Every structure is written in C-alpha cells, then in structure tokens.
Amino acid sequence: MTDTTPASHAPRAAREQAREGFRQAMSWLHTWAGLVLGWLLFAIFLTGTLSFFKTELNLWMRPELHGMPPANADVAERAVAAMNRKVPDVTQWILRMPDERQNAVTLLWRDTGNGRFETLLMNPQTGETVDARKTMGGEFFYRFHYELRTAQKSRWAIEGRWVVGVATMLMFIALLTGVVTHRRIFKDFFTFRPAKGGQRAWLDAHNVTGVLVLPFYLMITFSGLMIFHTLYMPSGIAAAYQGPKGVDSQTYFADLQGEKPERRVRRNPGDKVEPLPSAMPLAAILETARQRWEGGRIGGIQARRDAQGTPLVEVTRHEGDRLQYRPERMLFHGTTGAVLEQTDATTPAAVTYGVLYGLHLGRFAGPGMRWVLVGFGLLGSLMIATGMVLWSVKRSAQGQRKGAAADVPLRLPFGQRLVACLNIASLAGLPLACAVYMASNRLIPLDAPERPDAELSYFFGAWGVALLWGVLFPNRRGWSLVLALAGAAWAALPLLNALTTSTHLGISLPAGDWLWTGMDLSFLATGALLSWLAWRLRPGRPLPGKAGRKAEVPTRAAAMATPDALPASQA
C-alpha cells in the first residue's frame, strides 16, 4: 500500500504519536502507583485530616478536663511547684501553656531513673494535678498518620515511617502523572455527571476532587516527604556534616533550628543527669520573653541541663503566632534568669523548611482555617477513594461486556475480588473503626489496665470485622452494612457522651461552649452522611442513569467489586 501522508505532516504525526505514547505510559504509572498502596494512602490521608483537630479530640476523650477555669498569670510557677512536690529529682521538664484550644496545663517530666517522659495534666489556676482518664486520644490519629502507630508504646516507629514514606512517594508520583494523563484537566474541573452512574460518574468524581485543590495535595505530599528527609536521604547530611567521630547530626539540627550546637544534649539511656534546681525565676523569665516578643504569646517552657551541666530554661513562642515552624525561642540561665541567647531559624534553607513544615502541620491556623484544611483533607480522601472504586468499576464493566459477547457468566478474577473487599474494608471500614475507637473511650472502665492499648484494640478489631465482611460480601451488601454501622456509630457518640459524662449537648449548647458543641454536632453530621451513603447503596436500589436501565447482563463479575457496578437484580 502506498503511504498517502504528505511529507510535511510526517514529523507532526510522529510527535503526536510520541506524545500519546508518553501519556499512555503516564496513565499506566498513575493507575498502578495509586492502586498498589491506595488503601494505605486513604488511611494516612484520613487520619492526617483528623489530626488537624488533634487537640479538640484529645479534650473530647478526656471529659474530666471540661470546664477548666482560665489560667492565672502565675500558672507556670504553680504547675512547676506542684510537680516538684509530687516528683522529686526531676532532670527535665516541658510545660505546654494553656491557650484558647485547651485550658489545662500539660507538663511532661522525667527524673534520674526514667528514660521516658511522663505526663501530668494540671488545673490552670491551682496547678494541682487533674485525674483524667488514660487515653491516646487524638494523638493516635496523628501518630498513625506518619508512623502507623498500633500501640501506645510502639517499637516499630522507624519502620512505620519508612512504609508511610514509600506510600507518600507513590502518591506524589500518582499526582504528577495524573496531571500528565488528564489532557482536559481544566474542563474536567467543571464536569460532574452523577446522574450517568457507573464508570462515567466515578471518573468525574475522581477528576473533580483531584483537580479542585491540586496545589494542596502537592504541598501536603511533598512537605510530608521533606519532614523526614533525614531518615529518607541521610547521604547529604553525612557528606556536609562529617565530624571526627562520624556524622555530626547534632550540628546539622542546630543549624536547621537556629541553635548553637553546644546547647543541644542528646540523652542516652543510663546517662546520669543531675536533678534540676527546684527554685527557678520563672516569673522574671516569662516577663522578659513577652517584652522581647512585644506581647507575643508563650507556647511552652522547657527546663534541662546543657552539655556542661548548666541548668537552662528555654521559652518557646506560641506556634499560632506565625506560619514557620519551629517558633522563636529564648534561652535563659536556670538559676539567675539571665538571657543567654535568642534563637530562630533565619537562613533561606531553614526558613523554607520551616514554612513547608508549618503548612503541613497547620498549627498556625485559627478555627476557620482549620475547617478549610479539614475540607481539603476530606477532598483528598475522596480523591483516593474514588480512584480505588473507579479501578473496580472499569474492570467490572469490561467483564460485563465480555460476558455479554460470550453469552456466559464470567467468574470475578481473584485480583478484582481482592480489590473489592479491600475497598470495603478500607474506605468504609476505617470510618467505622475511628468511631468505635472513640466510643470505646466512654465504654472501657476508667481503671482498666493498659487502657490506651485497650482502646486501640477496639479500633483494629472493628477494622478487622469490616475486612471480614468485605471478604464475605464484596458487593453492595458489604458496602451498605459497613457504612450503616459506621453511620450509627458516629451518630451514637453524642448520645453515649451524654449517658456517661456531663459534657453533653444539653449543657454545652445552652452555655455557648462551641468547642464541645462543635464536636458533638460534627459527629452527628458525619453519622448522617455515612447513613445516607449506606441507604444509597442498599441492595435492590436501582442505579442512576443507563446503569439502572440496562442491567440485562446478570454476570457474577458485575455483582462484585463496587457499588455502582452492581446490577439491581444481583444486589
């Protein structure tokens, strides 16, 4: 056959072919980078989203802190004095000052025989200890988000951070390849056709949630990788900070945080440290810090000894005063109260690192901005979820067409069945596990041994039940039941709270206590949303659009995998 393509068009056709081949390669990479660890990414993203309200969740799971009075001016002195009466021979302590999100004083300490920090919660007026229930609270979601914490004291934190790092890198790859794959990325931003049902609706939902806040996704994944750069990429530090005894990591971290290396002391288990003096001029120290920062808020105070044994008091500015993390600090002599130095990270590299770190944590944000960040995080979770479901919908549709052409029912391949049950376990089971974890906080006796780990056993037990149900019913029956249980669990939290504590809506709402009221109302809204999804996916409900009108191919493959892939006759 003679080639009739004009010679002038040949280079253009070759470029188009090469461009299309590159796009298809990126599409393949996008699909598999998202699928391999998509369920883990969903868990990381959802728990990270909950971590924006970590402090509020901590309070809800310690109802004994409800109604704490506002702090006195001498709150720090009272708390440290009470600690010294309770715990002799303290070698280091860290005090977190009360603020608008938490009135109670949190004081962490360790003594000559204790390598780990212990925690005291104190009344902000009297400084006396508050007997609050033992729980990880919202701290669990935060820890699970970046190290897959499964117990209060985990021995696998570093390994968990490596797994999260690999998953984050795959998400970063999926985001970049998704931009290349979607040729009509701006048009897709305005296109959502849920009435069509099936693959088209899931693809539109994936595109909209992916494009809507794409800069946020890129920032949150890149900054998440950057936070643990010393773990993932230590070679650069090793080359630039090589000391006489090997890698001088202490100097690196001092430079990164604007400190002097000699002030940093790394305490090893078994090291003998002289106790701190019980009397420190905290009032004068805090007044000096406020004057230097022109009225800036005090976020925390830490007392320790440096490498020469000198007692030091480090005052840290409140994290909400600026975007960059870590905040400014001032160092004082622990006995005389004299100012030793004022530290801050001001080099371009350190400021860039601190700003990205601060953006990832979101601790600079007020209540409104935190809700915006939660909304962005939920959109990211939806983006991952719709991508996972879309993979099953697409292959289920292909199975339907093959079954119709051969006029025989097709058996669902193992891979598709596996994805279907994992979708149910992860996308529907994780919200159930989170609600059960919080409900266990009200159900487990206060004096139960190892109480925080007992709460975590409820979390992972509920997640395991969702997985088992997904294995047995990888279809709409599986989706609807797990979502219905999750909706009921979230909606029951305010009722359970009212039956077991005095912090319920009947008290907090009339009193205008919007922090506690907002928590209960958020739980009710979450329960209503999950219950609505369960009702939409109930067995026997007709599907929208063509999927509901053309369900003539009752193949076994179509009965599995995904909500909208299931014909009504097979539900």
SS3 assignment for 469-516: HHHHCCCHHHHHHHHHHHHHHHHHHHHHHHHHCCCCHHHHCCCCCHHH
Spatial separation of the C-alpha atoms in residues 219 and 230, rounded to whole Å = 19
What domain range includes position 318? 69-132+259-344
> Using one digit for the tens of pLDDT, what is the confidence trace for 306-319?
878 889 999 999 99
Cβ–Cβ < 8 Å for 332, 285: yes
Question: Is the residue at 55 inside a domain?
Answer: no
Spatial separation of the C-alpha atoms in residues 486 and 436, rounded to whole Å = 8
Of 39, 51, 35, which Cα lies nearest the Cα of 146? Answer: 51
Which strands form 329-333's sheet, in the order they lie side by side? 118-122, 105-111, 90-96, 298-305, 311-317, 329-333, 339-343
Bridge partners, residue 107, by sequence: 95, 120
> Using one digit for the tens of pLDDT, what is the confidence trace for 147-168?
999 988 888 899 999 999 999 9
> 547: number of CA atoms within 13 Å, CB side?
28
> Using one digit for the tens of pLDDT, what is the confidence trace for 466-512?
999 999 998 889 999 999 999 999 999 999 999 998 888 888 888 88
Question: Is the residue at 190 inside a domain?
Answer: no
Q: Tally Cβ neighbours within 10 Å of residue 64.
A: 16
Helix (H, G, I), strand (E, B) or coil at 258: coil
Of 571, 183, 389, which Cα lies nearest the Cα of 397? Answer: 389
Cβ–Cβ < 8 Å for 470, 478: yes
Residue type, 74: D
- The residue whose two tokens read 């962005």 is 376
Spatial separation of the C-alpha atoms in residues 362 and 320, rounded to whole Å = 9
Question: Is the residue at 285 inside a domain?
Answer: yes
Question: Is the residue at 169 inside a domain?
Answer: no
- The pLDDT score that the predictor gives to residue 570 is 34
Distances (CA, A) of 554 to 152, 547, 558: 48, 12, 7
pTM over 0.75: yes
- Going residue by residue through the chain, which has 571 residues, state the pLDDT in tens, using 9 for 90 and above: 455 555 555 666 666 665 666 667 677 677 777 777 889 999 999 999 999 999 999 999 999 988 888 888 889 999 999 898 888 888 899 999 998 888 899 999 988 776 678 888 998 988 888 889 999 999 999 999 999 999 888 888 999 999 999 999 989 988 888 877 776 666 655 565 655 556 667 777 777 888 888 899 999 999 999 999 989 988 888 888 887 776 777 888 888 888 777 666 666 655 677 889 888 999 999 999 999 998 889 999 999 988 788 899 999 999 999 999 989 999 999 999 999 988 888 889 899 999 999 999 999 999 999 999 999 999 999 999 988 888 887 776 665 555 545 444 556 677 788 888 999 999 999 999 999 999 999 999 999 989 999 999 999 999 999 999 999 998 889 999 999 999 999 999 999 999 998 888 888 888 888 888 999 999 999 999 999 999 988 887 665 544 444 443 444 444 444 454 433 333 3
Query: Is 73 buried (19+), middle (13-18) or exposed (0-12) by CB count in 10 A?
Result: exposed
> 302: number of CA atoms within 13 Å, CB side?
14
Spatial separation of the C-alpha atoms in residues 38 and 385, rounded to whole Å = 8
Phi-psi region of 337 (alpha: psi -120 to 50; beta: other; left: phi over 0): left
Question: Is the residue at 457 inside a domain?
Answer: no
- The pLDDT score that the predictor gives to residue 560 is 45
- The pLDDT score that the predictor gives to residue 275 is 87
Spatial separation of the C-alpha atoms in residues 468 and 447, rounded to whole Å = 32
Question: Is the residue at 127 inside a domain?
Answer: yes
- Count up the domains in the chain and report the number: 1
Question: Is the residue at 447 inside a domain?
Answer: no
- The pLDDT score that the predictor gives to residue 7 is 55
| β pairing state of 298-305 and 311-317 | antiparallel
Question: Is the residue at 92 inside a domain?
Answer: yes
φ and ψ at residue 431, rounded to 5 degrees: -60, -35
- The pLDDT score that the predictor gives to residue 508 is 86
User: For all residues of the chain together, what is the average pLDDT?
Assistant: 83
- The pLDDT score that the predictor gives to residue 286 is 93
Q: Angle, nearest 10°, between helix axes 429-443 and 514-536?
A: 140
